[in-house]
Amino acid sequence: MIRCGKRPLLFLHTPTDYWHAAPPLPDELHGHVDVRTFGETQDLLHACQAEIDSTARLAHIGAESASNESFGEVNPIGLVNYLHFHRACKNTYELAAMRQASLVGAAGHLAAESAFRAGGTEFEVHMAFLGASQQVETELPYGNIVAFNEHAAVLHYQFQDRVNHGSANSLLIDAGGNYRGYASDITRTYAGSGDAHANFAELVLQMEKHQSQLIASVRPGLTFADLHVRMHRQLGDLLADANLVHCSGDAAFESGLTETFCPHGLGHLLGLQVHDVGGHLADERGGEAPPPANYPTLRFTRAIEVDQVFTIEPGLYFIPSLLKELRASQAPVNWTLVDSLTGYGGIRIEDNIRVLADGVENLTRDSFADLLDV
């Protein structure tokens, strides 16, 4: 509860429970927030009511139940839309928490790459990430995607092999950190060692440049849907330059060829949820900004604003089911080269960025740089 001229007041439910331990309060709250604890929900609600002006308009945001009826309308759509729209832009505290979440995730990624280079299995790479990020699986913002070889062609690959099956051609790891409830969402792709993997390693480098160009083009006022279209145009050029298609980049884009090689959206809002809310809201009143018809999976379409935090995650994949359809269409694809790359699965490079008035703060790259400088 925010009170004018006084410290904020936190009503905290701490039930007596011998099944589970109550989580400790963050040390940072001491001296800044007044805390009242309650063992029973009804006692907490009554204490809240005693602090509220009788003329106040009340609303309850959360699950519906009989116990919250006295707190006014549950989840009024106008208020929910307002909150969902404005939480896309982060305040100073939220940005500080997200920087820490980025450091947590980056520490895990550095250890994961080392485990991969040392010959570890998917499971061992996963465990290296957990150890270095100092997270147990229940603390992760989302389940780790640790994909060797063709597993990287499954966008949300959910298993971790305990043994290696043949050579490690590639690793795609999509894994994040959690700090004070705020998430980071980071993806890196690595080629196996040796000259045999040189073509794929070069493709990873080109995807890094592709992502860097997209991040450099972020500016307030541009819509994320426009940025997504730019991603596909750039991907068309990359496919042509890498000789993966026998046509121009423009032709690859205009014909929809790029959509086979990257079937997902460029990114999404990030915050308290990994796929944070409000991505399809055009304004605080609930106006909609739906995704373009040919990009229905795009989670974020609205105008880009200062202090928004979102992901930029272009991909290039060799997905057997999509390639099968493409082959049947007689598309101008260099099938000899594409077939030689299907054993690598695909590439995704994902950073978390904060929008500035004249550029971006790259939370992900800054975190890797900080850790590597230590």
Over the stretch 226-249, which tens digit does the pLDDT of each residue have? 999 999 999 999 999 999 999 999
- Could you say which residues of the chain have pLDDT below 70? 65-71, 374
Q: Are residues 251 and 152 in the same domain?
A: yes
Task: Assess if residue 156 is contained within a domain.
Answer: yes
CATH number at residue 300: 3.90.230.10
Name the 3-class secondary structure at 171: strand
**Beta bridge partners of residue 312, listed in sequence order:** 351
CA distance readout (Å), 361 to 131, 210, 293, 353:
27, 18, 31, 6
Q: Are residues 14 and 143 in the same domain?
A: no
Task: Assess if residue 62 is contained within a domain.
Answer: yes
Dig out the tokens for 191 from the structure.
């080629």
Q: Are residues 144 and 100 in the same domain?
A: yes
Q: Are residues 66 and 98 in the same domain?
A: no
Task: Assess if residue 82 is contained within a domain.
Answer: no
Q: What is the pLDDT of residue 24?
A: 83
Q: What is the pLDDT of residue 285?
A: 97
Q: Are residues 51 and 160 in the same domain?
A: no
**Domain stops at, among 27, 43, 75:** 75
Other Cβ atoms within 10 Å of 239 Cβ, number: 26
pTM of the model: 0.95
Q: What is the pLDDT of residue 68?
A: 55
Q: Are residues 46 and 132 in the same domain?
A: no
Count how many domains the chain has.
Answer: 2
Q: What is the pLDDT of residue 234?
A: 98
Q: Are residues 316 and 255 in the same domain?
A: yes
Q: Are residues 70 and 94 in the same domain?
A: no
Task: Assess if residue 85 is contained within a domain.
Answer: no
Q: What is the pLDDT of residue 70?
A: 62
Task: Assess if residue 105 is contained within a domain.
Answer: yes
* Token pair 């993966």 in the structure block, residue: 244
- In 3D space, the residue among 333, 331, 349, 329 whose CA is nearest the CA of residue 341 turns out to be 333
Q: Is the alpha carbon torsion for 137, 141, 147, 153 positive or negative?
A: positive
- In 3D space, the residue among 217, 206, 266 whose CA is nearest the CA of residue 240 turns out to be 206
Q: What is the pLDDT of residue 80?
A: 96
Domain residues for the domain of 71 are: 9-75
Task: Assess if residue 367 is contained within a domain.
Answer: yes
Q: What is the pLDDT of residue 203?
A: 98
